[in-house]
């Protein structure tokens, strides 16, 4: 199926493309034929994935910067246009989840502001500068990374993260409605827990792992590559009539929490 999702002659901009879901998505988009601009503040990670794409015969560039900085985001979009002449896919993926993010009464104000700046403002800035480029290029696809917690809330307190992802979800819906007749589709990718070194460390204790897995009907964490497959679908013409969705890739978590009417 993935082979049918051709992105030949398409340009994609991926924020947070140097690691995790972003990295796997860069590789899949490039493999499908897209030219990819990797936007990340981690120069080493960004350069590594760019080199991997180039070694596989693809075309990719690194744009260094911070998604919460308006000038940096504007520059990354401008780089995509200057390198390839267009922008067709915008994957606003970069996000953070600090350890100090907890309950409303315990989360430090600076942590709240940092999370909102990166996770919510960063997506807004991506759309602010990316939408004009998409329109200029004849339309395209926006994929914004939200989370399953934007739909059901988190079992463990993480108020800033949950609030930021709820904002991403609502913003994506509004963008989808506003730009649908101008050739832009916008969807919110909502991952469940993804297997990362950090999460594996947190779940290293068997009891902690069992408590988390009981809430996941499929009984395992997602792989970053599985989320990248979902992004590839939403980026391609295979999803040409898909916009404004809460695109769940959560192993059934939200279904398990839904109360039948």
Helix axes 122-136, 159-179, angle to 10 degrees: 20
Among candidate residues 161, 179, 241, 257, the one labeled active-site is 161
Provide the CB-side half-sphere exposure for 166 (13 A, CA).
12
Within 144-240, residue ranges assigned H as helices are 149-152, 159-179, 197-202, 206-213, 224-235
48 is written with which tokens?
């590594």
161 carries an active-site annotation: yes
Q: Any idea what the Cα angle at residue 232 is, between residues 247 and 214, rounded to 5°?
A: 45
The H or E element containing residue 125 is: helix 122-136
DSSP string, 16-46: TTTSHHHHHHHHHHHHTT-EEEEEES-HHHH
Contacts of residue 154, Cβ cutoff 8 Å, sequence gap at least 6: 161, 162
Catalytic residues: 161
């Amino acid at each position: 199926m993935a082979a049918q999702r051709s992105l030949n002659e398409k340009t994609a901009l991926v924020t947070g493309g140097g690691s995790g879901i972003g990295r796997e998505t860069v590789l899949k988009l490039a493999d499908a034929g897209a030219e990819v601009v990797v936007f990340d503040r981690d120069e080493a990670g960004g350069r590594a994935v760019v080199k991997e794409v180039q070694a596989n015969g693809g075309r990719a560039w690194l744009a260094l910067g911070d998604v919460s900085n308006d000038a940096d985001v504007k520059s990354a979009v401008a780089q995509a246009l200057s390198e390839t002449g267009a922008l067709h896919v915008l994957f606003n993926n970069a996000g953070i989840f600090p350890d100090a993010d907890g309950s409303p009464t315990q989360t430090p104000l600076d942590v709240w502001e940092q999370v909102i700046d990166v996770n919510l403002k960063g997506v807004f800035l991506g759309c602010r500068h990316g939408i004009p480029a998409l329109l200029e290029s004849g339309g395209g696809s926006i994929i914004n990374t939200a989370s399953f917690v934007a739909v059901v809330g988190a079992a463990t307190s993480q108020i800033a993260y949950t609030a930021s992802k709820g904002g991403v979800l609502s913003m994506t819906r509004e963008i989808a409605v506003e730009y649908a007749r101008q050739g832009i589709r916008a969807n919110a990718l909502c991952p469940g827990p993804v297997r990362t070194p950090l999460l594996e460390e947190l779940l290293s204790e068997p009891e902690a792992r069992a408590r988390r897995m009981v809430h996941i009907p499929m009984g395992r964490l997602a792989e970053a590559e599985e989320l990248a497959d979902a992004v590839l679908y939403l980026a391609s013409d295979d999803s040409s009539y898909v916009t404004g969705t809460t695109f769940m890739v959560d192993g059934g978590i939200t279904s398990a929490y839904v109360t039948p009417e």
